[in-house]
């Protein structure tokens, strides 16, 4: 996908409107693990620095940077939330340190280079929303030895055991008014975003994407990765669970793994029929992720895998 296409799609009004409401920002700020991890990282790296906050929302990360002693902060957001950010900055007495810019980051010109880019751009399953491309374009602001927070982001896959509740709920839905089997299929191909208990994880974990924020390219978000996971108990596998983590130069670590509640939860990819597995079985597969061609903020994901000489292929859409 060309940069042009991405920038055009970034123009979409519905996207900016979704961030204009205070509730969505409230939910993010109240995500304690997320907000505290960024705070910790910002406190480690922003003292005396010139910082750009890509997608500042309410300006919370800019406030953290200013409080930590940043020399100057540029807080950029295209959504109307930027008006609140300006007000919040003033209210907190940081008008002279933080400049709020209501604009698409792709179109912003800064009169000076910055030491630090900070951005909370991650969507469900890491790449949903496609904001990563905007952060990559913001690297043009960086001084030669500048840093990006977070600097590394990884996506993981693991297998999960049968969720009776999910299957029963779907069954009752399908059976109330006769056979609504198409809905059954739709439920399966749409990944489910939910927090699961770590006790449902029944395999080893495998990294399927590992992005270096300083060097990755826009097109790296379209990828195919091989994975191998090993089953750790006799069980019935009902699907795969993906989650991500973000590293801040070893000083802070944000994770969305099962057992760590965050607003991103985990992404579950259910199988059409559960798979009987034994301790020590291997599942080898390929995970393919592509930005959707019509709306690059959505993801088309294909999981192909083999288990004891049987091959499976399922296509999912995250929208
Ligand atoms: N930094 C805030 C908000 C994160 S949500 C916090 O941590 O709470 C991401 C924000 O990025 C949204 O407010 C959205 O409007 C903004 N955003 C996404 N893409 C952008 C772009 N290309 N240019 C400017 N703002 C963008």
- The domain locations on the chain are 3-120, 153-318
Query: Per-residue pLDDT tens for 156-189?
Result: 999 999 866 666 666 666 666 666 666 666 666 8
Q: Are 200 and 161 in contact (CB under 8 A)?
A: yes
pTM of the model: 0.93
Cα dihedral value 218, 221, 224, 230, nearest 10? 140
pLDDT of residue 6: 47
Query: Per-residue pLDDT tens for 120-149?
Result: 999 999 999 889 999 999 999 999 999 999
Query: Per-residue pLDDT tens for 74-92?
Result: 999 999 999 999 999 999 9
Among residues 108, 42, 49, 47, which one has the least CA distance to residue 75? 108
Query: Per-residue pLDDT tens for 23-47?
Result: 899 999 999 999 999 999 999 999 9
- Tell me which of 120, 165, 230, 315 is the catalytic residue: 120
pLDDT for residue 50 is more than 90: yes
Tell me if 77 CB under 6 Å of ligand 1.
yes
| Residue 8 banded pLDDT, cuts 50, 70, 90 | very low
Residue nearest to atom 23 of ligand 1 (CA): 104
- Tell me which of 129, 175, 230, 315 is the catalytic residue: 129
Average pLDDT, the chain: 91
Peptide bond into 126 cis (omega under 30): no
27 part of the active site: no
Tell me if 79 CB under 6 Å of ligand 1.
yes
Contacts of 134 (CB under 8 A, 6+ apart): 10, 54, 55, 104, 105, 106, 121
* Architecture per CATH, 3-120: 3-Layer(aba) Sandwich (3.40)
State the Cα angle at 21 between 16 and 25, rounded to 5°: 95
Name the CATH topology of 153-318: 2.70.160
């Amino acid at each position: 996908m060309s940069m042009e296409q991405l920038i055009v799609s970034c123009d979409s009004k519905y996207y900016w409107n979704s961030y204009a409401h205070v509730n969505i920002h409230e939910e993010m700020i109240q995500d304690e693990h997320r907000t505290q991890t960024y705070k910790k990282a910002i406190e480690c790296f922003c003292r005396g620095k010139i910082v750009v906050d890509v997608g500042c929302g309410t300006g919370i990360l800019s406030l953290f940077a200013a409080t930590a002693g940043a020399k100057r902060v540029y807080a950029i957001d295209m959504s109307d939330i930027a008006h609140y950010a300006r007000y919040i900055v003033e209210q907190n007495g940081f008008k002279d340190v933080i400049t709020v810019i209501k604009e698409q980051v792709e179109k912003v010109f800064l009169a000076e280079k910055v030491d630090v880019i900070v951005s909370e751009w991650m969507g469900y399953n890491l790449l949903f929303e496609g904001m990563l491309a905007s952060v990559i374009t913001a690297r043009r602001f960086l001084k030669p030895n500048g840093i990006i927070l977070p600097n590394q982001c990884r996506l993981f896959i693991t297998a999960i055991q049968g969720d009776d509740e999910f299957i029963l709920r779907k069954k009752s839905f399908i059976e109330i008014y006769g056979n609504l089997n198409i809905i059954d299929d739709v439920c399966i191909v749409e990944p489910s975003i939910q927090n699961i208990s770590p006790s449902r994880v029944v395999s080893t974990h495998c990294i399927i994407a590992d992005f270096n924020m300083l060097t990755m390219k826009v097109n790296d978000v379209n990828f195919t990765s091989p994975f191998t996971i090993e089953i750790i108990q006799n069980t019935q596998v009902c699907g795969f669970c993906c989650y991500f983590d973000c590293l801040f130069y070893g000083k802070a670590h944000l994770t969305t793994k099962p057992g760590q509640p965050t607003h991103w939860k985990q992404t579950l990819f259910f199988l059409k029929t559960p798979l009987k597995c034994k301790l020590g079985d291997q599942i080898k597969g390929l995970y393919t992720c592509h930005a959707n061609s019509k709306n690059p903020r959505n993801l088309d994901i294909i999981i192909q895998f083999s288990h004891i000489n049987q091959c499976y292929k399922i296509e999912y859409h995250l929208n």
